[in-house]
């Protein structure tokens, strides 16, 4: 595999040519270099298991063909899926990918961006964006190639889902099932996906002339625990309870389900729950979750293209259309 790798110079010597000729013959970017001598060099290189020293090459070329991806947590399945898709598409384009996790701290995010940049990544893809994100503004100021995925601040090139439409579809699904008392469990509104999903929810409610109950719109976090807490708030209320809940991501929905179970409320019967994201788990829950599917692969591909080459081929904000996946957690009232 390696140990003392054979070097370009040595290959050149073996082939009886200069290192520059050897370098050209082995440069993957010139595919029209087919002289006899070039072919010979390639054969020799192949035979001796020559592998270009990427570090040296990167230094000289001034580019690393590496993109850095920033997510809050990799243990968040949506983020893991997003990253896997980005890594795949990048690999197909001969790019290498590195991830870093920033948790929910803007400060940590700043550090991590710096660390990625110090490593000379050619571009960044960020899934951490909040609506007024100073870190991302700083990327723009410094003209650092980057794109946003899943969430946008409306100012950098972004590949996101049509969150408002998705939320509208989700809410409409509940309404079409006959529900009128519908609660929204959402993440913090400072993220664009939360904001637009909330807008979609409200629009669907208003369009159907349904009353919005302020106590039934809850904005805590994005994780299971937040969903559970939100569910506890709704289900332990002395007042009226909602008959349906739209949780703006699947993890929140799972948390709500857990809470419902603890309160002895039958999911899909006493209460309908719809999520957002369609993570692999959702279809395999004891009560499979009705949810909104996001085309992650397509989203990742666009984010990649935006990061690498966003010279006006694409609009600033690129949206993919989500679709409803109906399962057992929702039913007619």
Nearer to DNA (CB atom), residue 56 or residue 212: 56
d(C-alpha 32, C-alpha 87), whole Å: 29
- Residue ranges in 40-59 that form contacts with DNA under rule CB under 7 A: 52-53, 56-57, 59
108 within 8 A of 126, measured Cβ to Cβ? no
d(C-alpha 48, C-alpha 46), whole Å: 5
CB of 94 to DNA, least distance (A): 13
**Structure tokens given for 13:** 């010597």
Residue 87 found at the interface with a copy of itself (CB under 8 A): yes
CB of 149 to a copy of itself, least distance (A): 15
- Residue ranges in 168-227 that form contacts with a copy of itself under rule CB under 8 A: 224-225
Residue 144 found at the interface with a copy of itself (CB under 8 A): yes
Q: What are phi and psi of 233, to 5 degrees?
A: -60, -50
Cα separation of the two ends of the chain: 64
156 within 8 A of 136, measured Cβ to Cβ? yes
- Residue ranges in 114-133 that form contacts with a copy of itself under rule CB under 8 A: 114-115, 117-120
> What mask of x and - would describe binding to DNA in positions 57 to 96, judged by CB under 7 A?
x-xxxx----------------------------------
How long is the chain?
333
Of residues 13, 24, 241, 328, which one binds DNA by CB under 7 A? 24
d(C-alpha 183, C-alpha 163), whole Å: 17
- Angle, nearest 10°, between helix axes 106-118 and 134-141? 30
d(C-alpha 157, C-alpha 303), whole Å: 8
CB of 275 to a copy of itself, least distance (A): 14
| Four-residue CA torsion sign, 26, 32, 37, 43 | positive
d(C-alpha 91, C-alpha 134), whole Å: 30
CB of 160 to DNA, least distance (A): 35
d(C-alpha 180, C-alpha 70), whole Å: 39
114 binds, among DNA, a copy of itself, none (CB under 5 to 8 A by kind): a copy of itself
- Residue ranges in 234-293 that form contacts with DNA under rule CB under 7 A: none
Among 126, 134, 141, which Cα is nearest to 307's?
A: 126
26 binds, among a copy of itself, DNA, none (CB under 5 to 8 A by kind): DNA
Q: Which residues bind a copy of itself (CB under 8 A)?
A: 1-3, 51-56, 58-59, 64, 73-75, 77, 80-81, 83-84, 87, 96, 98-101, 113-115, 117-120, 138-139, 142-144, 224-225, 228, 254-255, 257-258, 260-261, 267, 280-281, 284-288
Q: Which residues bind DNA (CB under 7 A)?
A: 5, 7-9, 16-21, 23-27, 32-38, 52-53, 56-57, 59-62
């Amino acid at each position: 595999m390696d140990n003392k790798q054979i070097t370009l110079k040595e290959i050149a010597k073996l082939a009886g040519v200069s290192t520059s000729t050897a370098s050209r013959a082995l440069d993957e970017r010139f595919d029209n270099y087919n002289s006899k001598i070039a072919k010979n060099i390639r054969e020799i290189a192949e035979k001796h298991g020559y592998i270009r020293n990427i570090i040296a090459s990167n230094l000289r070329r001034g580019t690393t063909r590496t993109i850095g991806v920033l997510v809050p947590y990799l243990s968040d399945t949506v983020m893991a899926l997003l990253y896997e898709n980005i890594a795949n598409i990048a690999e197909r384009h001969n790019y290498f990918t590195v991830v870093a996790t920033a948790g929910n701290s803007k400060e940590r995010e700043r550090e991590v961006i710096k660390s990625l940049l110090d490593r000379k990544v050619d571009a960044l893809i960020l899934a951490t964006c909040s609506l007024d994100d100073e870190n991302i503004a700083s990327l723009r100021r410094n003209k650092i190639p980057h794109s946003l995925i899943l969430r946008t601040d409306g100012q950098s090139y972004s590949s996101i889902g049509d969150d408002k439409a998705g939320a509208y579809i989700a809410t409409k699904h509940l309404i079409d099932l006959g529900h009128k008392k519908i609660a929204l469990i959402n993440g913090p509104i400072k993220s664009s996906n939360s904001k637009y999903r909330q807008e979609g929810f409200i629009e669907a409610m208003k369009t159907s002339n349904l009353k919005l109950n302020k106590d039934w719109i809850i904005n805590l976090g994005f994780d299971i625990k937040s969903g559970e807490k939100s569910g506890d708030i709704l289900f332990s209320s002395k007042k009226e309870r909602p008959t349906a809940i739209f949780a703006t991501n699947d993890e929140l929905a799972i948390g709500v389900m857990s809470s419902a179970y603890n309160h002895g409320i039958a999911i899909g019967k006493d209460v309908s729950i719809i999520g957002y994201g369609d993570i692999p788990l959702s279809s395999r829950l004891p009560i499979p979750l009705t949810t909104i599917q996001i085309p992650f692969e397509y989203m990742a591909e666009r984010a990649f293209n935006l990061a690498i080459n966003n010279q006006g081929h694409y609009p600033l904000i690129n949206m993919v259309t989500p679709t409803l996946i109906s399962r057992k957690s929702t039913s007619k009232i």
